[in-house]
Amino acid sequence: MTKEIYTWGAISAIVIASCAGDVLLSHAMKQVGDVSELWRRKGLMTVIGRILRNPWFIGGVLCMTIAFYSLLFALSWEDVSLVGPAAAALSFVANAVAAKIFLHERVDRRRWIAALLVAGGVLLLAA
Amino acid sequence: MTSSKYLVLAGVTVCAAAGDSLLSRGMREVGNISFHHLPSIIVAILNPWVALGIIFLLGFFASYMTALSWADLTYVLPATSLGCVLLALIARFVLHEQISVTRWLGIVLISAGVGFVTRGPELTHDPSRKTISPASTQALAARQK
């Protein structure tokens, strides 16, 4: 029983932290602008400096760190074949909702279908 | 979408798949970590497999950030989910594991999802510029075809 609680607690932590991290990082990178274009015009150091100074980026990295350690914790209790797909499938759906609410992305029918197809496919891989 | 952009998406896919399998290999050596021995999770990153996994995950992070600088989150995530398919194919053809019908069906579903999302526009909203209207998104998609 302890194993299930640890595993699913860690999987929930992965989904919440990685979803928050993805939204923050996506927002940060949209503020920074197209990296390859910026690199060509102003050089690599400008790109790196701009990314590292962005507060949204710092927040995103903090969330990703929490997600990473939750993943290590989960992997120490359960196989990657359960943890990986379960966390990924839940993240796809959670991210589509979060991107629509917080990033104002136009999640149209095409993207909903894609997110659900991928989430379903990931679950079948784990079955 | 230019070919270099597809290359960045491929980098995200491959590095994530390689990183995750290396971490899994390493954590099996490290063993179970309980709440009573939580600090041992810090030491876990000294395991060579975990360390190599982290290097791949850094590569993943760099290409992921690049992709997010020119595409929506709801485009990048499904588009790079081929990593799961890649892991299954490595298991089948490199490690010679048997893949059940259910797993092949999963591979088909993920591939369909990837095909679906990559045929649409990669950017629908950019806070650094003015909001992109649905009409201009469609124009963008038409131009890319």
In chain A, where the domains are located: 2-126
| pLDDT over threshold 60, residue A11 | yes
Residues 41-70, chain B, touching A (beta carbon < 8 A)? 41, 44, 50, 57, 61, 64-66, 68-70
Cβ neighbours around A83 below 10 Å, total: 26
Give percent of chain B above pLDDT 70.
Answer: 82
The number of domains in chain B is 1
A12-67: pLDDT as tens digits: 999 999 999 999 999 999 999 888 888 888 888 888 999 999 999 999 999 999 99
Task: Say if residues B89 and A97 touch (Cβ distance below 8 Å).
Answer: no
> How far apart are alpha carbons B76 and B114 in whole angstroms?
10
> How far apart are alpha carbons A117 and B117 in whole angstroms?
10
Task: Kindly report the average pLDDT of chain A as a whole number.
Answer: 88
Closest chain A C-alpha to B139 CA, distance in angstroms:
15
pLDDT at B130: 47
Average pLDDT over residues A83-107: 86
Sequence-distant (6+) residues with CB within 8 A of B2 are none
Q: B125 to chain A: which residues are within 8 Å by CB?
A: 103-106
Q: Do the interacting molecules here have an ipTM over 0.90?
A: no
Interface probe for B, chosen from A108, A118, A122 (most Cβ of B below 10 Å), is: A118
Task: Say if residues A31 and A54 touch (Cβ distance below 8 Å).
Answer: yes
**Chain B residue nearest residue A107, CA to CA:** B74
pLDDT at A14: 94
| pLDDT over threshold 60, residue B101 | yes
Q: State the residue range of the domain holding B99.
A: 3-144
Per-position DSSP letters for A54-68, written without gaps between them:
-HHHHHHHHHHHHHH
| pLDDT over threshold 80, residue B34 | no
| pLDDT over threshold 50, residue B145 | no
Q: Is B31 left (phi over 0), alpha (psi -120 to 50) or beta?
A: left
pLDDT at A61: 93
A95 vs B74, B100, B114: nearest CB = B74
pTM of the model: 0.76
